[in-house]
């Protein structure tokens, strides 16, 4: 038993070092902008850059819109597939895997070809239209992760029983999805939302080819023209990522309990 624990700790230590050593080295390098001693000048330079604030805000807004659109599409789709069309599940899973197979550059060239200014729907003819196109492109790009997160959450509840109990209580389909199904898979939806946000924040190809002021192209531009600021941006991105993961863990502790079918039969839903 002691021998097994020893090798388990060895494997854990090697794995932790694999991730932590590059992170520590990056952080140490980001502090060496001023010669002779450590300082946070690179971080001050990043936060003082107006483009950092503008691009991060833009990507954050697009990320939130992508999350909302993704939830509105994926949650009802998974619900109906599991409830009424189980035979469609293999085909839906295959379709949601396509964004992992098709490179982002092919995806965005297809969008530009289909929705350019001379097409029937000229999304690329204005900034707002291009933002809408970028949002749907990110929804497509994050579809494999959002779908699997929601599908995993949907497996943990009895969709059939909850739906029948809610229908007896007088609820319609939108009420069932919004007030019964969604609260029960909230943690899974948050996991998919976090993955979507992470994809949007770091994505470069689509935003660059659509010429949008996103955070990904800004990171690439800084990395190509400066030395210490890219290391600082890498640490900042890491902190944002782990902050979002911590929020997911925190919210999962306060997630509402599963709705009991007996509790739904006491009266109609408002």
Mean pLDDT, the chain, integer: 83
What is the rounded distance in angstroms from the CA atom of residue 209 to the CA atom of residue 29? 31
Write the burial class of residue 108 (CB in 10 Å: 0-12 exposed, 13-18 middle, 19+ buried). buried
User: Residue 2's pLDDT is what?
Assistant: 60
Residue 118 phi, psi (nearest 5): -100, 5
Write the burial class of residue 94 (CB in 10 Å: 0-12 exposed, 13-18 middle, 19+ buried). exposed
pLDDT band at 61 (very low <50, low <70, confident <90, very high): very high
Taking phi over 0 as left and psi of -120 to 50 as alpha, with beta for the rest, 211 belongs to left
User: Residue 255's pLDDT is what?
Assistant: 55
| More confidently predicted of 202 and 64 | 64
pLDDT band at 270 (very low <50, low <70, confident <90, very high): very low
Write the burial class of residue 215 (CB in 10 Å: 0-12 exposed, 13-18 middle, 19+ buried). buried
> Taking residues 13-27, what's their average pLDDT?
89
| More confidently predicted of 163 and 269 | 163
Assess whether pLDDT exceeds 70 at residue 34. Answer: yes
Q: What is the dihedral of CA 136, 141, 146, 149, to 10 degrees?
A: 180
pTM of the model: 0.82
What is the rounded distance in angstroms from the CA atom of residue 44 to the CA atom of residue 46? 5
- The length of the chain is 270
Q: Which domains does the chain have, with CATH numbers?
A: 49-264 (1.10.3720.10)
Residue 16 phi, psi (nearest 5): -65, -40
Q: Determine the distance from the C-alpha atom of residue 8 to the mean position of all C-alpha atoms in its chain, rounded to a whole number.
A: 32
> Taking residues 101-129, what's their average pLDDT?
80
């Amino acid at each position: 038993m002691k021998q097994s624990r020893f090798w388990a700790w060895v494997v854990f230590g090697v794995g932790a070092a694999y991730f932590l050593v590059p992170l520590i080295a990056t952080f140490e390098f980001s502090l060496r902008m001023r010669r002779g001693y450590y300082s946070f000048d690179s971080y001050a330079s990043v936060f003082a850059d107006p483009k950092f604030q503008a691009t991060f805000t833009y990507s954050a807004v697009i990320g939130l819109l992508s999350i909302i659109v993704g939830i509105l599409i994926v949650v009802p789709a998974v619900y109906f597939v599991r409830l009424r069309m189980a035979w469609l599940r293999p085909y839906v899973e295959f379709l949601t895997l396509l964004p992992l197979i098709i490179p982002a550059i092919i995806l965005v060239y297809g969008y530009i070809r289909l929705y350019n200014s001379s097409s029937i729907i000229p999304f690329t003819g204005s900034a707002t239209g291009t933002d809408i196109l970028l949002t749907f492109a990110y929804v497509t790009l994050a579809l494999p992760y959002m779908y699997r997160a929601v599908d995993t959450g949907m497996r943990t509840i009895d969709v059939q029983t909850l739906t029948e109990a809610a229908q007896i209580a007088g609820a319609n389909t939108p009420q069932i999805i919004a007030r019964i199904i969604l609260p029960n898979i909230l943690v899974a939806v948050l996991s998919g939302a976090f993955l979507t946000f992470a994809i949007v924040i770091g994505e470069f190809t689509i935003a660059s080819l659509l010429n949008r002021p996103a955070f990904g192209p800004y990171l690439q531009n800084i990395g190509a023209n400066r030395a210490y600021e890219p290391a600082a941006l890498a640490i900042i991105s890491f902190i944002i990522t782990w902050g979002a993961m911590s929020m997911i863990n925190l919210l999962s502790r306060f997630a509402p309990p599963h709705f009991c079918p007996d509790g739904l039969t006491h009266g109609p839903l408002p």
